[in-house]
Amino acid sequence: KDVRRLCEKAREIFRDESNVQLVSCPVTVCGDIHGQLHDLLELFRIGGSCPDTNYLFMGDYVDRGYYSVETVTALVCLKVRYSRRVTILRGNHESRQITQVYGFYDECLRKYGDAEVWQFFTDMFDYLPLTALVENTIFCLHGGLSPSVQSLDQVRAIDRVQEVPHEGSMCDLLWSDPDERTGWG
């Protein structure tokens, strides 16, 4: 019941955020956490706790680590409490399909006995912003650029409230990794 209320409150906040979320400096930018709760806590110990430090998290909060439920719960609690100080973007692991393969789904079953908590979180993931723009200068996202996106207005226009598609601009923004090839791979 508490997780449901938390996810509903977070969804309300994310619903009002843009696909290109504006972020002001100073901000600490953080990459993949992947269920590593102790690493997240160490990051706060070194970087400063909220609300004293602004944070931008660029996705992949769950899967692979042993504490995905606790990690994503902590981040969402911080977002709800300090919504203007914490920015949370969607990564490619904030998806139903990927979490069923890489551990978050199984962790929820193990810790709660059913998939209800997993469903609350994955429904909320659909509302996460896709990118951020720090000081109108630095473009931040989990994946990479897309050949089908030529402007920030095109990113703003993406309908993000869905499961991560297998192709297209939203997929590229969450999945594209750097490569040695030139041009669009």
Residue positions annotated with a catalytic role? 93
DSSP 135: T
- Concatenating the DSSP letter of every residue in 154-180 gives HHHTS--SSSPPSSSHHHHHHH----S
Query: Please, what's the b/e burial string for 119-143 (b: 16 or more CB within 10 A of its CB; e: otherwise)?
Result: bbbbebbbbbbbbbbbeeeeebbbb
Helix/strand/coil for 10: helix
Is 71 within 8 Å of 36 (Cβ atoms)? yes
Asked whether 160 and 128 are in contact (CB, 8 A), the reply is yes
